Amino acid sequence: MVTEKSAIFIIFGGSGDLAHRKLYPSLFRLYKSGILKDHFAVIGTARRPWSDDYFRETVITSLKDYFDDSEDIMKGFAKHFFYQSHDVNDSEHYIALKNLAAKLDDQFEAGHNRVYYMAIAPRFFGTVAEHINSEGLKTEDGYNRLVIEKPFGRDLDSACELNGNISKAFPEDDIYRIDHYLGKEMIQDIPHIRANNPKLEAAMNNKYVSNIQITLAESLGVEDRGGYYETAGVLRDMVQNHIMQIIGAIASDDPEATDAKIIHKNKTDLFSSLKELTPEGVDDDFVRGQYDTDQLGEEKAYRQEDNVAEDSNIETFVAGNIQFDTERWSGVPFYVRSGKRMPEKSSRIDIVFNDKVDEVGIKPNTVITLLIERVNGNSILINGINYKESGQDFISFPEEAEFDKAREAYESLIIDILSGNRVHFTLWDELRSTWKYIDTIRNRWDEQTPDFPNYLSGSMGPDAAEILLERNGNSWVWDD
């Protein structure tokens, strides 16, 4: 049964790309499913002086890219949308937002609940959070939840500073830090798959796992995001957050836990057990790359992209061997890899078992592959274990199985926000550990000049990424 939720959403950056491509379509899906119905309103805010009507038109135009519902349904949805011109630094504007939110709360009977969504540049996160607090936007008798997009800082120091700023304004329990990979059904299913497949769970440790491989590959280059990429690089953009969180889903203890506090504690414990990296260890265990043109010389090299320096040393590819000092995982390499301009888009987890795993009833050297995302929506492929299909009991697949998954990550995360469920959001303690680890790699790389570009567009990355595994007698399961 669908339970209707009530809230006033205030979307900072309401005219931006994320809002139009992800948030409004997800809110529309929730509207169509009845989770959002009569008791909600969305205030979009940004500097440009739009009218409510114009804002609604832009929302409907975005929806048309994803849905073929009737104009009437879209207009009914858009009636819940309001626009307030606003500059994040202007205190007066927050008063106007507060008054509009209060008015809409009365009109839609939204229960004094507020979702403050930061779909705005990260440098504004702290300012906005402080003003929400100081200008009295928070309600007394509803909830007040702050949603923060990535990136959460660009290193440990800046993440600490940001966290300090938002923590002054919101208690940790009201902060929802988005890592949209945690909204993907595949990632959310991993603990269930483990918990409900006793054979698999018995094998998920250093006695039986040879290595675990996580690949987040893109076929595209940086496209029009060269300016952003120059300040980030794939290490910060993909490893610190998405790849680490995927590892958290696969490798945390106690997959049967359902309590958010226990789940977070398990993940925090795992990340605080990241095996300490020395600068020399970075040279051994991490490889970076930057794409060149392709074999025919037709594609732009990274250094030829718009807003990218001609001598840029920013990495567009990373591969690494991450290890944990825990009883369960000590000695097991978690090979991670992410890159632009790889042969195809692929997000996958490969769990490679060793030749002793038949002791727990799994064929020796079995590889279990979870496909997190495919071009045509989400899908999963599992070899030889029980798997739960949405809404069904566990069923056994002796060979391979593939499913399409319907729910968009943002849709699922917004439901969680409205329900007060923080399981699929990242906590500060997790971020502190992962940033500390990433900083060691970044600092080492910043001391050295790489020999870039070092891989062709359309290839699997630099040769060193293959050698990284070969050194230990392993190889990538996904190879072109």
Question: Can you give the binding site for ligand NAP, defined by CB under 6 A?
Answer: 13-18, 21, 46-48, 86-88, 119-122, 149-151
The reply to whether 184 sits in an annotated binding site is yes
Q: Which of 20, 80, 112, 242 is catalytic?
A: 242
Rounded distance between C-alpha atoms, residue 11 and residue 23, angstroms: 9
Question: 54 vs 394, which CB is nearer to ligand NAP?
Answer: 54
Rounded distance between C-alpha atoms, residue 327 and residue 205, angstroms: 8
Question: 18 vs 332, which CB is nearer to ligand NAP?
Answer: 18
Q: Is 42 exposed, middle or buried (0-12, 13-18, 19+ CB in 10 A)?
A: buried
Question: 93 vs 348, which CB is nearer to ligand NAP?
Answer: 93
Beta-bridge mates of residue 404: 379
Question: 194 vs 407, which CB is nearer to ligand NAP?
Answer: 407
Compute the least distance from the CB of residue 121 to ligand NAP, in Å.
5
The reply to whether 180 sits in an annotated binding site is yes
Q: In the chain, what is the greatest distance between 2 CA atoms, to the nearest angstrom?
A: 68
Angle at 349 between CA 346 and CA 353, to 5 degrees: 140
The reply to whether 172 sits in an annotated binding site is no
42 three-class SS? strand
Compute the least distance from the CB of residue 342 to ligand NAP, in Å.
20
Angle at 253 between CA 248 and CA 256, to 5 degrees: 100
Rounded distance between C-alpha atoms, residue 451 and residue 273, angstroms: 32
With b for 16 or more beta-carbon neighbours within 10 A and e for fewer, the 162-193 pattern comes to bbeebeebbeeebbbbbbbbbbbbbbbbbbeb
Compute the least distance from the CB of residue 7 to ligand NAP, in Å.
20
Torsional class of 464: left (φ above 0), alpha (ψ -120 to 50), beta (otherwise): alpha
Question: 87 vs 359, which CB is nearer to ligand NAP?
Answer: 87
Question: Is 242 designated active site?
Answer: yes
Rounded distance between C-alpha atoms, residue 34 and residue 230, angstroms: 42
Question: Tokens 């299909």 label which residue?
Answer: 389
Compute the least distance from the CB of residue 115 to ligand NAP, in Å.
15
Compute the least distance from the CB of residue 224 to ligand NAP, in Å.
11
The reply to whether 150 sits in an annotated binding site is yes
Question: Tokens 């940790």 label which residue?
Answer: 172
Position of minimal CB gap to ligand NAP: 16
360 three-class SS? helix
For residue 384 the two structure tokens come to 């030889």
352 three-class SS? strand
The reply to whether 360 sits in an annotated binding site is no
Question: 240 vs 252, which CB is nearer to ligand NAP?
Answer: 240
274 three-class SS? strand
113 three-class SS? coil
The reply to whether 345 sits in an annotated binding site is yes
CB 59 within 8 A of CB 51: no
Compute the least distance from the CB of residue 21 to ligand NAP, in Å.
6
The reply to whether 340 sits in an annotated binding site is yes
Question: 6 vs 15, which CB is nearer to ligand NAP?
Answer: 15
Compute the least distance from the CB of residue 143 to ligand NAP, in Å.
22
Binding residues for substrate are 180, 184, 218, 237, 340, 345
Q: Which residues line the annotated binding site?
A: 47, 87-88, 150, 180, 184, 218, 237, 340, 345
The binding site for NADP(+) consists of 47, 87-88, 150
Q: Which residues are catalytic?
A: 242
